[in-house]
Amino acid sequence: MAGTDNAKVKELVLKCMHAREMAYCPYSRFPVGAAILTADGAIITGCNVENSSFGLTVCAERTAIQRAVAEGHRKFSAIAVTCDIKDSFVGPCGACRQVLIEFGTDWVVYLTKPDGSYKETSLKELLPLAFSPAHLGH
């Protein structure tokens, strides 16, 4: 990631893996963790939080972005996301991609496996032709 050293990327990946451990997922048993790197270098984490009324479940990525916004952050440079799938890199769901794009298109996304290995991609790549605040004249 441009301008970010490897140690910061490793910290981001480790924090998303720790966040996965905090997931509340008694129904799906599919824990997910996310860690967002703010423009000023802070790392904010989130995990999925399920609800017996399934539609009220919140994904890890949205938990992290909501926590970051609640703490005053509005500019972000990267996010790392992990789950328990060992064989492939898994990206955020479509709803999370749309929520992330609200805060810019230039995010680096680290898709992380449980062993700590990761694949670097971008939010632009994951959500091409995205609807964004720019379409509303903002």
The annotation status of 93 as a binding-site residue, yes or no, is yes
pTM of the model: 0.93
Q: Which residues pair with 13 in a beta bridge?
A: none
- Of 61, 71, 120, 125, catalytic: 61
**11 has catalytic annotation:** no
Token representation of residue 56: 């009220």
29-68 per-position pLDDT tens digit: 999 999 999 999 999 999 999 999 999 999 999 999 999 9
* Residue pLDDT, tens place only, 59-98: 999 999 999 999 999 999 999 999 999 999 999 999 999 9
What pLDDT is recorded for position 4?
A: 62
Q: For 6, left (φ over 0), alpha (ψ -120 to 50), or beta?
A: alpha
**CA 86 to centroid of chain Cα atoms:** 18
Q: Contact 86/114 with Cβ under 8 angstroms?
A: yes
Residue 59 assigned ligand-binding role: yes
Quote the CA–CA distance of 123 and 7 in Å, as a whole number: 22
- 28 and 17 in contact (C-beta within 8 Å)? no
Residue 96 annotated as binding site: yes
Q: Which range is least confidently modeled, 1-5, 8-12, 121-125?
A: 1-5
Q: 7: how many CB neighbours lie within 10 A of its CB?
A: 8
